[in-house]
Chains A and B, each alone.
Chain A
Amino acid sequence: MHSSLIRTIKAEGLKLKRSPVWLTFLILPLISAFFGTGNYLGNQGILQNEWFSLWSQHSLFLCFFFMPALIGTVCSYLWRLEHLRTNWNAFLTAPVPLLCLYLGKLFQAVKVVILGNIWIFILYFLCGKLCRLETDFPPQAPEWFLCGILGGIVICCLQLALSMVIRSFAVPIGIGLVGGIGGMLIVNKGAGLFYPYSLYSVGMRANNPQMTIDLKLFAVSCVCYAVLFCGLSVIGLRRHEQ
């Protein structure tokens, strides 16, 4: 099992080689950081909470609108090759357990999310320094980072399930975008912890002036959704095999 998993992770890594996945995670946070910082500097009369105000401008649109769709792009790309021609046959006859095949893809998606999150926080730090903020970098930032990754894993699991079932490259990305926008409405109703697409933004404390969440409930929600979507995906793979 262990060596099979490592082989599938390597194989999925090979499939992603020379793909422009990294470019998407480079550009979108950059645009968001650029405009977010501009908006912060232009409204310092209202936004007086230094690092926290800057974070609100950086994270709001990126987390709600674009991160679910971006993760959807990676997941669609990971399944695209299998949907082409007769590649499903080759994929399902690989001499490794189905769970490993799925986890190989999940690993690659999560890796991209982690790298994307690191880039978002680097931009946040750099923009804060450029704005010459007087207070220290928030010590809670690592917690936002980790919670964001946990929420991102849930979206990876969900989008991988969708992209596995839907043969189109574009449709799961559209679902991710609409799901993310819907997440904003659901967070405003106070139910963000129960909706998979909003878990990333809730974890990242986007649009959350108090910057606090119920960590236990958040973790339980993330684990439950991740297990559910992973399970459904593996069941879907088994059915595909039959």
Chain B
Amino acid sequence: MRTLQLEFYKIRRRKVGLTMAAFLAAQFLWGLWAFHDPTPSEQAQGFLSLLYSIPILDAVMVPPVMAMLASRLADIEHKGCMYKQLETLRKPGSLYHAKAVCGLLIIAVTFAAQYALFILLGYAIGYQGSPDITYYLLSYGLKLASNSALFLMQLALSMLFANQMIPLVTGLCGSLLGLLLMFVKMYSFLPWGGNLNSALVMMDWDARTRQATYYYREYSPVELAAVGMIFVWFVLFYAAGRVLFTRREN
């Protein structure tokens, strides 16, 4: 607990909150631009469509954001050459754990704020009805799991490499992969496809009438396996990162 408190203390002037707020602001502005003038059909399906749009937006935007967050948490020690000293005061495993928990708490708050912002946006532009709380909570849980797995992968890279270019470029490549995987299938076993797996709503596009119809997704066994893979990645990245960091000579 003390180590976790210290992690928050260390980042108090590193503007991590501002970085996450900028990410949310960018998404919110995009939402305003994309949804500001809905047709009656879009208004009727509005809250349903958000469960499709948000994961797709996240598939592109979140990987570099997770890379940035992990880099902000880990780079402070690289810059000050602090790892050697820190590991004389506490076990490397607990240091890694504290950084992971610190990042995961920030992610949990960020995505809660993201859903709150988009729901507010939905009400503001006149979406009919109200969001289905069960599906929104489930979507939030899956999103949290998939993006936490991404964060843990990025944290492992950021802690292991002093050169932060490597984790950040991995984040950028992940973003491009997330975008391109979307064109292949709406699920993926890769860590960057987690946001696609967590989309609980699918869309049918009628090119003739130029209208989109949204419906709740019925997961096939393969898609369910892809969802399960998110949790495998989560455990794998945490364990691998912790073991590699603990064994590393600083």
Contacts and interface: CB of A to CB of B under 8 A. Distances in A.
Given A80-B164, A170-B19, A170-B71, 8 more contacts: A31-B180, A32-B176, A61-B180, A73-B168, A168-B75, A169-B75, A170-B68, A170-B168
Interface string B44-57: 00000000000000
B176 A28 contact: yes
B176 A20 contact: no
Contacts of A178: 22-23, 26
Contacts of A80: 164
B145 interface: no
B169 A84 contact: no
B79 A24 contact: no
Nearest to A60: B179
A35 B19 contact: no
A65 B64 CA distance: 11
Contacts of B169: 20, 23-24, 27-28, 70, 73
Contact of B173 (A27, A61, A173, A177): A27
Nearest to A178: B26
Contacts of A61: 176, 179-180
Contacts of B33: 185
Interface residues of A, number: 34
Majority SS of interface residues in chain B? helix
B175 A173 contact: no
Interface in B70-88: 71-72, 75, 79
Size category, B interface: 20 to 34
B165 A19 contact: yes
A39 interface: yes
Nearest to B14: A168
Nearest to B72: A170
25 contacts: A28-B169, A28-B173, A28-B176, A32-B180, A35-B183, A61-B176, A61-B179, A65-B60, A65-B175, A65-B176, A69-B172, A73-B165, A84-B79, A168-B14, A168-B75, A169-B168, A170-B19, A170-B164, A171-B15, A173-B168, A177-B175, A178-B22, A178-B23, A181-B61, A185-B33
Interface string A48-65: 000000000000011001
Nearest to A27: B173
B222 interface: no
A100 to B, nearest CB: 25
A66 interface: yes
Contacts of B60: 65, 181
A69 B168 CA distance: 10
Contacts of B183: 35, 39
A32 B183 CA distance: 12
B176 A174 contact: no
Q: What 6 A-B pairs are tightest by C-beta distance, nearest first? A: A35-B180, A170-B68, A170-B71, A24-B169, A169-B164, A178-B26
Interface of A: 19-21, 23-24, 27-28, 31-32, 35, 39, 61-62, 65-66, 69-70, 73, 76-77, 80, 83-84, 168-171, 173-174, 177-178, 181-182, 185
Interface in B157-211: 163-166, 168-169, 172-173, 175-177, 179-180, 183
A195 to B, nearest CB: 14
B214 to A, nearest CB: 23
A21 B166 CA distance: 9
B120 to A, nearest CB: 21
Contacts of B19: 170-171, 174
A31 B175 CA distance: 11
B79 A174 contact: no
Contact of B176 (A66, A168, A169): A66
B64 A69 contact: yes
Contacts of B72: 168, 170
Nearest to A179: B26
Kindly name the residue among A69, A169, A185 whose own CB sees the greatest number of chain B CB atoms within 10 A. Answer: A169
A62 B179 CA distance: 11
A83 B163 CA distance: 13
Nearest to A62: B176
Contacts of B64: 69, 173-174, 177
